[in-house]
Amino acid sequence: MNVPSLVFAGGSAAAMFVGATGLVLRPPSRLARRVRPYTVVARTRLGLPVDVVHRQPPGATRTARLLFVTPIAEGLGWLGRIVERRGDTALEAALAHAGLPDVSAADHRTRVAVETCGAAVVGAVVGAVAVKSVPVMLILVVCASAYGASRSGARLNRAIARRREQARLELYTVNQLLAMHVRSGAGPVQATQRIVDRGHGVLVEDLDAVLRLIRSGWSEADAFRRVADRTAEPAAARTYRLFAAAAERGIDLAGALLSLSDDLRDERREDIKRSATKRRAAMLLPTIGVLAPIMLLFIAAPLPSIIFGSR
């Protein structure tokens, strides 16, 4: 019997076992349904919404969920913690830097585990159907699992680099506009509100997050520092910390923003020069690789006649 037949037979046997278990062993009623009528008054007095009674799934569905969904979810979480070894704080910071603040660390680990398992399944199918060799199938499973595990991390790093580059390109213009609004008499929050109302981009999203934090009760300095800790670009973090210092101590914000813009322009110019030098060197490599062998052949061709004499 080949591998696909074994997998199909095992799945059919598992489905029959779940159905029989759900018919014979009825899961007991959950305690929350019995206690919920006595908590309505207390929840209403505390200002909480009423806990609506949801319809419980049938016994077979609940049994299937307990036997399959819960173990699979736990297994994916365990595999995700093995593949993604960063802590929750570091991983949530990386997701925020990539522009994914709504994605939790557990959801990202689950996604990484799903991609790893999917790549392993593809490797196993290719090895079982195309190659039909168990050692080759195991090698393909290992290689595909490694590829699937590294894919999510590489995609996250690319998103962080892309967002950082976009923020670096926007920062000079945004600082100039903020300095102009501050020079015209606006405060830090008012200048930020004007930029958010008229612009869009990575930095505008960060400034909008600052305004949301302020509306939710945060102080101006703490809101700017919070966003500075969650941004991917160090220069943008310097700008936000500058706003925090201006909100607390009343410094010359416009002059500081203009000075920071000049520093950013100089750094950008140096980056362009370094990139141009590297590209110029990269353009010379194909020329040298093509012309150098031909020149060596022209130089080495007359050597035998010179050394041994011509006939």
DSSP 107-143: HHHHHHHHHHHHHHHHHHHIIIIII--HHHHHHHHHH
pLDDT for the residue 160 = 86
Do 124 and 253 contact (CB within 8 A), yes or no? no
For residue 140, the model assigns a pLDDT of 83
CA pair distance 294, 296, nearest whole angstrom: 5
232 DSSP 8-state letter: S
Q: How far is residue 32 from each of residues 14, 54, 57, 60, measured CA to CA in Å?
A: 30, 11, 15, 20
Segments in the chain forming alpha helices (H): 3-24, 31-35, 40-45, 59-64, 70-83, 88-97, 105-125, 134-183, 188-198, 202-215, 220-230, 234-249, 253-300, 303-308
Q: What is the pLDDT of residues 223-238, one digit of tens each?
A: 888 888 888 888 888 8
Say if CB 214 and CB 189 are below 8 A apart: yes
Q: Is domain 167-267 classified as CATH 1.20.81?
A: yes
Contact indicator for 27, 59 with CB cutoff of 8 Å: yes
- List pLDDT tens digits, range 84-128: 777 778 888 888 888 777 777 788 888 888 888 888 888 888 877
- Least confident residue range of 6-15, 179-188, 198-207, 288-297: 6-15
Per-residue model confidence as pLDDT tens digits over 44-83? 665 555 554 444 445 445 555 655 666 677 777 777 777 7
Please answer whether residues 84 and 91 qualify as being in contact, where contact means their C-beta atoms are separated by less than 8 angstroms: yes
The domain spans of the chain are 167-267
Q: How many CA atoms lie within 13 A of 28 on its CB side?
A: 4
Q: Which of 222, 205, 209 is nearest to 167 (CA)?
A: 205
DSSP string, 179-216: HHHHHTT--HHHHHHHHHHH--SHHHHHHHHHHHHHHT
- Looking at per-residue pLDDT, the higher value among 255 and 20 belongs to 255
HSE-CB at 178 with a 13 A cutoff on CA atoms is 31
Q: Which of 12-26, 178-192, 257-271 has the lowest mean pLDDT?
A: 12-26
